[in-house]
Chains A and B, each alone.
Chain A
Amino acid sequence: MIKDFEYSAPGTLDEALSLISQYGEDGKIIAGGQSLLLLMRRKLVAPRYLVDIKGISSLDYINISENGDLNIGALTTHRAIETSREIQQKFRILSEMEENIAAVENRNWGSIGGNLCHADPVGDPSPVLVALNARLEIVSVRGERTVAVEDFARDRFYVNLAHDEILTEIQVPCPAPRTGSKYTKFSILEGSFALASVAMSVTLNAKSDICDDVRIALGAVNSTAMRAREAEEVLIGKEITDELLEKAGEVASGEADPIGDMRASAAYRKELVKVLVKRVGKEALLRAGKDSWEGSSAKSDGKVALLGRR
């Protein structure tokens, strides 16, 4: 079913780099391949040479440095990130995001790097990494460079990566003190793809509850994960209240530029952004250590839904 190709499975990064630089446009990298093989089966992608980097163990690691920065090898599986104790403790948003990606079988085989390079606009890791201000290390025989996750995906299924380059590492800076982050996706069924998603990272002032910094990333509402910069402006420098979050949600909703498709209309997706920003913001603030939260989330209108209500 899949068009024939030549396969190689180099054991080291250097070998892999030299192979893909040799193959140029005819070559393609495969990691877990869970996205690529679907495209190849439908003949949307038909490389002459497939370079399988899945076995390069030097790109499979999770390190947290002494200063608290997180480095993840591009071939680290989703499942490894999800189940890493250190990540659960220090980058909870990442493990929470991972545990709701597809099925455990997919997470056992698929890698974070492969996911980012596929650049599906409904992908979960991108918005989270954008909110965390993560950068990517990219290597080729020509040298190395880094790029912000935010600037990596350029369009749906299209990333800032030359034919001879390999994404090798995801670098997540240590969050400042009093930073809290949260990610939520909305899907009709549990664990399914997002109709809209929001990741937010909030940093509060050391002495007050003023918001020193915030990064809001939206998923599934544009061709790539996007920053909601205007919504961030609404919050920065202020003490965040319910009303302010509501406003940020509205502004973010305006920034979102979703498509309407069979899964949901554009208007509905915008509506979801509004709600998610508000909800995610509250949780992120709690995690940042805002201990007195005035806004009460459960607005009671006094009505109790009962069968047979007249």
Chain B
Amino acid sequence: MKHYHVIEKDTPNVDGFAKVTGQAVYTFDMTMPGMLYGKILRSPHPHARIISIDTSKAESLPGVKAVITAKETGERRQGAWRRYQELCDEPVLCLEKVRYIGDPVAAVAAIDEDIAMEALDLIEVEYEPLPAVFDPLESIQEGAPQLHDEVENNINVTRHIEWGDADKGFEEADFIREDEFILPAQSHVPLETHGSLASFDGGTNRLTLWTSTQTPYYVQCLLAEAMDLRENEVTVIKPHCGSGFGGKNELFADQFCAGYLARKTGRPVKIVYTREEEFTCARRRTPIHYYLKIGAKRDGTFVAKEARAFSDGGAYTSMGATLLYLTGWFSAFPYCYPNYRYDGYKVFTNKSPSSSMRGYGGIQANFCGESQIEMLAADMGLDPVEIRKKNAMYPNYEVPGQATIASCGLPEGLEKIGEYIKERGELPEDHGIGLACYGFNSGGIFNWFNTPYAFSGAEVRINIDGMVDVYSLAADIGQGADTTMCMIAAEELGVHLDDIRMHSGDTSICPSDLGAWASRETLMMGNAVKMAAADAKRQLFEVAASKMSANIVYDLEAGDRRIYLRDRPERGLSYYDVVKDAIRAKEGSLIVGRGHYTPHGKGMISPAFSFGVQAIEVKVDRETGYVKIMNAFTAHDCGQVINPMAVRGQVEGSIMMAAGYAYSEEMLYSEGEVLNPNLVDYSLIGFRDMPSAVTVDCPTHEPEGPFGAKEVGEGITCPTAGALANAVYHAVGVRITDPPLTPEKILMALKKKETQEKSPK
């Protein structure tokens, strides 16, 4: 087993000092001399034609410096689908129509926030309200209101995935179940809302945008397009970011409105979403109507699965199209189905676009799939652990015609869960333990953004004093990407963490990276950083080899600030001395290493997959339906662990978010209006409700990952809701198929069950 100097050890966050002293500056905190405050006027109608917009009164309000409407932004539509222009369907500012409550119509810049707000009230927009539709199943009906003229029946995107012959598989099955599930909308709730500060230099025609984003590169490209600028006339800088969870993956109204207003006024403009805007006008987790059919042999072997999904897509394509694919893909996870068929429909509705969110498609698929497997096991009289063991993916399993699973710790995870349940023994009354397994992507390969750059690029520069500058656009939004990248660079170069200085989040100085989505940073940027460090290390080795005049059969190795012979570690040189010599040898130029990573030969989905299984224990109050989440036991495989404490942070944070999805969180609507757009009425799991969490690693070595690492940020959000529903079932015998599992739903189900049991057959 390889001995590591840096990775594998608990390593505090490299931004720790700034974050605990309040010195970390977020976009939310920024100001600039002469800065104006921007506000966005949004549609009050779920669906309406814009007849006219009169901004004259707003413009003449003292203190107002500019008002913009679609007159400025034009007919341009934006979206991240650069390979599929027809999917870039979101107006920058609405021109003819608004399609959800919150669709941006105009924006104002003024000398203070109050005046900007007042100016919004003075903009006169005449609307002709149109009939609206909110449910995807109604939206696809003949005669339903049409959101986009060019899209028939509101079917925005369809996806089909198939392998084997599902019909034949079902014929061979001894047991078949068909079930229906309805999944809710969840809000990302980053504690820092969306926000931007734009500054435009009229002399050079260049824009700088500081913004709370998880994809600086996308924002750079899309904003340049939206404003008719060259890509590199736009610099996007991500300061400290108050989290994203998939909700800050795209170009948003704060970004383009601040950009346009800064250009128009010649002054910096800042726009920050209110909490209400964050709930109503940003993105949300995709609600789905799911139909599942599963067939198994008498011994529990799965022979076929069929899935159909109708997603409540909201008003525009957003990132919901990828979701539609992924939820179908994850519906076949993490089990071996010889025959599988999926049909997905992303349907337009008059609500804010549903999009990417942590666990992207997996959390929905997982809730349904793991609930159904548990029901199937009950039908068949099989043990929930055994049926999963029988069908679990395993190392080097090929998903027929789709992808090869290289490393896979699921079998080991199921062993550990089995042991845990045995150890837990007989449970107290009204307690139940439920299980769910998951597998998840470590980054996405599908390049719909059509980037011509490597997916992740990094640069390493070594200075004369041995200090290493690492340049990476990996977006640290709290998950600890900067720390991870520093650790990978230090490990590869054989230096200490404090030899590394990180430069991230600035598109003008960092090689490109697609951003923090699909759990891609550790694997993809990790590879790029490791490669850049290796490139620099090779240059040091050249000098070290020549200085040491060792037999050329020896390999060199770097570790703990030394460069030495691998097989004779006592023979070596100080890293610092080698650096000095190497820079001299290059006529004083810095040692520069470059790395880039784009997956090749790994299919079109993901280069690697994480796996795991979770057991949730609950206690249910039979008289009120109240659920107390007692404990979460997780056995997971994220490949080689880089930073154990960061991994734990991801696991437990995922549990909090997914427990909310399962139990307390839901965006509630009436006629397209969000009824609970605030943190009073939208309930996040707090300190008192968070269960204890025990996590065991089932590490594997992923050949495609840096040092063997895979993802951990998203996969673990997938099992919790299904495990919780299964736990409630085992506790009190009721099955809820439409999360969140509120006490009211549970109580009503209990009462129904009681009535059924009492009624004579």
Given the known interface contacts A189-B685, A262-B668, A308-B384, the answer about A275 and B429 at a Cβ–Cβ threshold of 8 Å is: no
When distances are taken between beta carbons in the complex, the residues of chain A under 8 Å from B748 are 268
A38 to B739, CA, bound (A): 31
Any A CB within 8 A of the CB of B191: no
**Of B429, B431, B434, B747, which contacts A268 at CB under 8 A?**
B747
When distances are taken between beta carbons in the complex, the residues of chain B under 8 Å from A1 are 113-114, 117
Closest residue of chain B to A302 (Cβ to Cβ) is B429
Of B216-224, B501-509, B675-683, the one contacting chain A is: B675-683
A191 to B686, CA, bound (A): 9
Any B CB within 8 A of the CB of A44: no
Quick check: B624 and A186 within 8 Å, CB to CB? yes
Closest residue of chain B to A4 (Cβ to Cβ) is B114
Quick check: A190 and B688 within 8 Å, CB to CB? yes
For chain B residues 604-652, which have a beta carbon within 8 Å of chain A? 615, 623-624, 626
Given the known interface contacts A190-B688, A191-B686, A192-B683, the answer about A308 and B383 at a Cβ–Cβ threshold of 8 Å is: yes
The smallest beta-carbon distance between B688 and chain A, in angstroms, is 4
Quick check: B747 and A271 within 8 Å, CB to CB? yes
Any B CB within 8 A of the CB of A263: yes
A307 to B430, CA, bound (A): 11
Any A CB within 8 A of the CB of B732: yes
Any B CB within 8 A of the CB of A142: no
A308 to B663, CA, bound (A): 22
Quick check: B688 and A191 within 8 Å, CB to CB? yes
When distances are taken between beta carbons in the complex, the residues of chain A under 8 Å from B732 are 305
Quick check: A188 and B730 within 8 Å, CB to CB? no
Closest residue of chain B to A191 (Cβ to Cβ) is B688
Quick check: B683 and A262 within 8 Å, CB to CB? no
Any B CB within 8 A of the CB of A108: no
A304 to B732, CA, bound (A): 10
Q: Contact string, A226-267, partner B, CB cutoff 8 A, digits 1/0? A: 000000000000000000000000000000000000111100
Quick check: A189 and B747 within 8 Å, CB to CB? no
Q: Contact string, A284-309, partner B, CB cutoff 8 A, digits 1/0? A: 00000000000000101001111111
A265 to B743, CA, bound (A): 11
Any B CB within 8 A of the CB of A272: yes
Any B CB within 8 A of the CB of A207: no
When distances are taken between beta carbons in the complex, the residues of chain B under 8 Å from A303 are 429
Closest residue of chain B to A304 (Cβ to Cβ) is B426
Closest residue of chain A to B669 (Cβ to Cβ) is A262
When distances are taken between beta carbons in the complex, the residues of chain B under 8 Å from A186 are 624, 626
Quick check: A306 and B683 within 8 Å, CB to CB? no
Quick check: A304 and B685 within 8 Å, CB to CB? no
A117 to B357, CA, bound (A): 42
A262 to B744, CA, bound (A): 12
Given the known interface contacts A186-B626, A189-B686, A190-B689, the answer about A298 and B429 at a Cβ–Cβ threshold of 8 Å is: yes
Residue among A265, A272, A306 with the most chain B CB within 10 A?
Answer: A306
For chain A residues 189-217, which have a beta carbon within 8 Å of chain B? 189-193
The smallest beta-carbon distance between A38 and chain B, in angstroms, is 9
A310 to B733, CA, bound (A): 11
**Of A189, A191, A262, A272, which contacts B675 at CB under 8 A?**
A262
Quick check: B427 and A305 within 8 Å, CB to CB? yes
Closest residue of chain A to B740 (Cβ to Cβ) is A188
Any A CB within 8 A of the CB of B749: no
Any A CB within 8 A of the CB of B421: yes
Residue among A186, A191, A265, A268 with the most chain B CB within 10 A?
Answer: A268
Closest residue of chain B to A276 (Cβ to Cβ) is B624
Any A CB within 8 A of the CB of B664: yes
Quick check: A188 and B685 within 8 Å, CB to CB? no
Quick check: B688 and A262 within 8 Å, CB to CB? no
**Of A189, A305, A309, which contacts B429 at CB under 8 A?**
A305
**Of B435, B686, B744, which contacts A265 at CB under 8 A?**
B744
Quick check: A304 and B427 within 8 Å, CB to CB? yes
When distances are taken between beta carbons in the complex, the residues of chain B under 8 Å from A309 are 730
A1 to B115, CA, bound (A): 10
When distances are taken between beta carbons in the complex, the residues of chain B under 8 Å from A262 are 668, 675-676, 681
Closest residue of chain A to B434 (Cβ to Cβ) is A307
Any A CB within 8 A of the CB of B22: no
**Of A190, A193, A308, which contacts B385 at CB under 8 A?**
A308
A193 to B623, CA, bound (A): 19
**Of B114, B432, B688, which contacts A189 at CB under 8 A?**
B688
A268 to B749, CA, bound (A): 12
Residue among A191, A265, A272 with the most chain B CB within 10 A?
Answer: A272
The smallest beta-carbon distance between A186 and chain B, in angstroms, is 6
Closest residue of chain A to B432 (Cβ to Cβ) is A305
The smallest beta-carbon distance between A53 and chain B, in angstroms, is 25
The smallest beta-carbon distance between A264 and chain B, in angstroms, is 6
Closest residue of chain A to B688 (Cβ to Cβ) is A190
Any A CB within 8 A of the CB of B731: yes
When distances are taken between beta carbons in the complex, the residues of chain A under 8 Å from B377 are 308
Any A CB within 8 A of the CB of B656: no
Q: Contact string, B664-697, partner A, CB cutoff 8 A, digits 1/0? A: 1000100000011000110101101100000000
The smallest beta-carbon distance between B43 and chain A, in angstroms, is 20
The smallest beta-carbon distance between B740 and chain A, in angstroms, is 9
Quick check: B744 and A264 within 8 Å, CB to CB? yes
The smallest beta-carbon distance between A198 and chain B, in angstroms, is 12
For chain B residues 432-450, which have a beta carbon within 8 Å of chain A? 432-435
A188 to B688, CA, bound (A): 12
Any A CB within 8 A of the CB of B381: yes
Any A CB within 8 A of the CB of B451: no
Residue among A191, A264, A307 with the most chain B CB within 10 A?
Answer: A307
Quick check: B747 and A307 within 8 Å, CB to CB? no
Any A CB within 8 A of the CB of B742: yes
When distances are taken between beta carbons in the complex, the residues of chain B under 8 Å from A308 are 377, 383-385, 730
Quick check: A304 and B688 within 8 Å, CB to CB? no
Q: Contact string, B69-112, partner A, CB cutoff 8 A, digits 1/0? A: 00000000000000000000000000000000000000000000
When distances are taken between beta carbons in the complex, the residues of chain A under 8 Å from B668 are 262
- 14 new A-B contacts at CB < 8 Å, known A304-B426, A307-B421: A1-B114, A189-B688, A191-B688, A262-B675, A303-B429, A304-B427, A304-B429, A305-B429, A305-B431, A305-B731, A305-B732, A306-B426, A307-B384, A307-B730
Of all A-B residue pairs in the complex, the 7 with the closest CB atoms, nearest first, are: A190-B688, A307-B433, A268-B744, A275-B623, A262-B668, A305-B432, A308-B383
Binding site for B on A (CB under 8 A): 1, 186, 188-193, 262-265, 268, 271-272, 275, 298, 300, 303-310
A-B contact pairs, 7 of them (CB 8 A): A186-B624, A186-B626, A188-B626, A188-B743, A189-B688, A268-B743, A310-B381
